[in-house]
Structure 1
Amino acid sequence: MIHCSGNLLYSKSIGKASMKEGRDLPFTDSTICIIASMTKLMTSVAVVQCVEQGKLDLDQDVRPMFPEMGRYGIISGFDDRTNQATFAPNDTPITLRMLLSHTSGHEYEWFNPLLEKWRASRGEEPWGGRTVADKLAVPLVFTPGTGFAYGAGHDWAGKAVEIATGITLEEFMRQHIWEPLGIENDVSFFPEKKENMKDRLADMSTLSDEGKPPATDVSDFDIRLGATDCLGGAGIFISPAAFYTFLSAVFRRDGRLMKPDSYAELFRPQLNSTTEQAFNDYLDSSAQNTEFLALGIPSTVRKTFSFAGMVTLSDQEGRSKKGTTYWAGLPGVIWFMDHEAGTYGTVFCQILPPMYPPILALHVEFQKAVLEIAEGK
């Protein structure tokens, strides 16, 4: 945690990095952790870097790059009697801007019962397969650009980086993000293959079915679900210290990564009035969406979305100022940037159930404490 003046406000590591029998590994700021959807911020930076380099265009139709994308059209219903979905055609372009702001019509299957039924009707598991195309060639859920749904747009965007540059997303990030920041030895999509990282890998743990301690080992949990591609929406493993270094660079708009105009695009709210309303309605549409995506921010606080993450459009009394940017990841990891207060931070843990409410509540209290320190209360 750091204040805009450069004063470190708080940093601490506690607990164990594994509950696996015979593996006594303390959790430290050099422990390598899966950050799941917090990967999206780094992929957004990579995409904007490619735009800055003239290799990608935010508003060009990317469908010609991906023959599999949207090939089923838009799912409109499912007949349980025949075990078949119904579809409407889609000819609307899909752009990187849509993919990075979740307005492309793609949605994770576990947020959409129709997509879950469609997968099951084909004998497939949600988000199954080894490649991005295997996992993401699913029906759209609305006409691109007309709504909001949380999905794997960043995974498609990561593949666009690979196509545009001719190298893997890992190699692109190594050259243009990790090495410039000096964190290349603490981050990878495949740390189990790195001699300097594999012994520092945290194991996933889980609470009981009722969400109660003690935590137990679930080190066999594969968050990549068999993927062999770099997953730009969920696949990075990184140490807390390295992610903090990256977060600090982005917050400070470090010139080693991008130019000022590129940072302005990264943080600029991307939703129009229609899609912004769709986003706020989406957060309130189910208990699952509220728990996983709203991050403890009440529905009375209007929200929008940028390439960086969710943006609050008003102050939250005692927690953050208007314009604060947030995002999080499945195993209870979270980051925030309060641009007005001048604070930013991240908290890591490696525990299931995903975004467990009591853990999220601790994150909220932590952010409140940070704001108090920053304001000298």
Structure 2
Amino acid sequence: MTPSPRLNGRGRAALDTWLAQTNAANLTPALFVGVASKDDVLYFNCAGDKVLNQPENGQVNEDTVIEMWSMTKLVTSLACLQLKERGLVSYDDPALIERLLPDLCAQPILLGYDGDTPKYTPRTEPITLRRLLTHTVGQAYGNRAQLRWEKENLAVPWKDPGSTTESFITPLNIQPGSSFVYGLGIDWAGILLERITGLTLDEYFRKHIWEPIGVKSMTFFPTPEIKARLMQMCTRTREGELVHTRKLRPVKDMVPADIKQQAGGGGLLGTAREYITFLQAVLRCKEEDGLVSRAGFRELFTDSLPPDQEERDCHKALGAFLKFRGYPEEQYTSGRAVGYSPGLCLNLANSVNGRKAGSGFWFGAARSEYWIDPASGLIGLCVTQLMNDYETIWSDVYSSYERTVYDAVEGVDEARL
């Protein structure tokens, strides 16, 4: 049985102190932090200005909406797992992708540019749903050549609120299966789901995920009510100053009609508190069928990347991406102790900050991090709204939060390093 983590008064005080000190130090914009077991929210708190340096506009609370960005990916991946368990898809059937995503399958591999001429090579490896979900399909969010190609060829880029399905039709950057390349794969998995079910992602999520677990505010649509509850997005300048930004997506100026293609890789808006409810529902599947089966849960926590060999470097490339993202531990950034399932990045060894081997985690672009630790029976979440953190400040904040959590919570002592 999964352990039953507990939080006593001393542990709660430690987390309160951590949040108060971090907020007072102005290291980040407003913070939301949470700790939960599969059945109980052990701790949830938040602190800071809803609009940076404008306290007159109020403080964040559990109803404050955030841009979730890639926190969306686990929801889309879990929805695809539901389809798999219903026999509607296979993770490893290239014919399924050829039939339902011919627009993606027609794309060549962009090698780069010779002057003003793009250079391509044909795709020779199959595209599968597993490769879409594990970022091994090879379609990047944007290396230098890819960004140039998008600027020259896409009328509406995929990151634009008015993006259509055609906005996601970009070349691949590697042969599928040869490396980990963070990108649009899960957006295409969402398009696949829509084509199979005849539902939009928002409709499918509401029917098969949100309503069964009592989540009410998760949406792709920036309604007036959602915008009224939205926290202001921030960035950190190279000089270290926190400032407001509209970078990537001006949600405050959008209306629901702007959303042409719902982005399974990064389009959700919702609250940190309700995301914890979602993570709890996932963790409960370890011991009882729920959103997915117990077997499906095991699949979410099993490495799906092929072993690194001379022609493949998926684990090494994943480690390099985590290093770029600010993760501090060499066992992970080298690729030695990380993997990726069809839904989660996996810690394959214990972390010095407390997380146990077998944990799954990911994040959103605006510095919104979460983990599920099945061995400890523990969920953690640490969220802000901060784009382009040029320093290691956020990774230090997040690491210290994780360590504080594991020091504060009872019932996981036996697994500490």
Report the TM range for the smaller structure's normalisation: 0.7 to 0.9
Structure 1 partner of 2:13 = none
Distance 1:133 1:85 in 2: 23
How far apart are 1:153 and its partner, in Å? Answer: 0.7
- Structure 2: how far apart are the matches of 1:283 and 1:266? 17
Per-residue CA distance 1:325-361 (angstroms, 9 max, x = gap): 1101111100011222222111121122258631221
- Selected match of 1:273 from 296, 300, 307: 307
| More RCO (CA 8 Å, sep 6+) | 2
* Aligned pair partner of 2:44 in 11, 30, 43: 11
| 1:150 to 2:143 alignment | no
2:276 is equivalent to residue 264 of structure 1: no
The equivalent of 1:73 in structure 2 is 108
Give how far 1:126 is off.
5.7
Q: Is the 8 A contact 2:38 2:280 kept in 1?
A: no
Q: How does 1:52-131 map to 2 (within 5 A)?
A: 52-61=85-94, 62-80=97-115, 83-109=116-142, 112-122=143-153, 127=158, 130-131=162-163
2:344 corresponds to which of 309, 332, 337: 309
Bigger drift between 4-13 and 90-99 goes to: 4-13
Mapping for residues 162-177 of structure 1, pairs under 5 Å: 162-177=194-209
CA deviation profile, 1:181-202 (whole Å, cap 9, x unmatched):
1112x21011x2264x332122
Amino acid aligned to 1:256:
G
- Structure 1 residues 65, 348: CA separation in 2 closer, same or farther (over 3 Å shift)? same
SS of the residue 2:43 aligns to: coil
TM-score (norm 1): 0.87
Q: Once structures 1 and 2 are overlaid, which stretch shifts more, 353-362 or 327-336?
A: 353-362
Q: Name 2:79's counterpart in structure 1.
A: 46
Contact 1:104–1:145 (Cα < 8 Å) also in 2: yes
| Worse-matched range after superposition: 162-171 or 227-236 | 227-236
Which residue identity does 1:148 align to in structure 2? Answer: F
| Alpha-carbon contact 2:65-2:229 (below 8 Å) kept | yes
CA displacement 1:268-310 (0-9 Å, x = unmatched): 211110389623332465xx76232x63332355211112221
TM-aligned CA distance change 1:334 to 1:177, over 3 Å: same
* Superposed CA offset, 1:114-157 (max 9, x none): 21232344476864563453332111112212222111111100
- What is the match of residue 232 of structure 1? 264
> TM-score, normalization: structure 2?
0.79
Q: Which one-letter code corresponds to 1:216 in the other structure?
A: V
CA distance in structure 2 between the aligned counterparts of 1:188 and 1:25, rounded to whole angstroms? 23
3-state SS, counterpart of residue 58 of structure 1: coil
Q: Sort the Cα spacing of 1:342 and 1:284 in 2 relative to 1 into closer, same or farther, 3 A.
A: closer
2:156 touches 2:163 (CA, 8 Å); kept in 1? no
Structure 1 residues 273, 16: closer, same or farther in 2, change over 3 A?
same
Shift in alpha-carbon separation, 1:322–1:138, aligned structure 2, 3 A: same
Match of 1:25 among 58, 72, 83: 58
Residues 140, 172 of structure 2: 8 Å contact kept: yes
Contact 1:155 1:233 in 2 (8 A): yes
Q: Work out whether 1:364 is the aligned partner of 2:364.
A: no
What is residue 23 of structure 2 aligned with on the other side?
A: none
| Cα pair 1:70 1:137 within 8 Å, conserved | no
Is there any run of 5+ residues in structure 2 with no aligned partner, and where?
Answer: 1-33
Structure 1 residues 365, 88: CA separation in 2 closer, same or farther (over 3 Å shift)? same
> Sequence identity of aligned pairs in percent?
27
1:342 is the counterpart of 2:377: yes
CA change 1:164–1:267 in 2 (3 A) is: same
Is this contact kept in 2: 1:102–1:151, CA < 8 A?
Answer: yes
| Residues 1:234 and 1:91: Cα distance change in structure 2 (over 3 Å) | same
- Structure 2 contact 300–344 (Cα < 8 Å) conserved: no
Task: Give per-residue Cα distances to partners, 1:219-265, cap 9 Å, x unaligned.
Answer: 57516897521100000111011000001111221633111122222
CA distance in structure 2 between the aligned counterparts of 1:205 and 1:5, rounded to whole angstroms: 32
Secondary structure at the residue paired with 2:315? helix
Residues 1:208 and 2:237 are matched in the alignment: yes
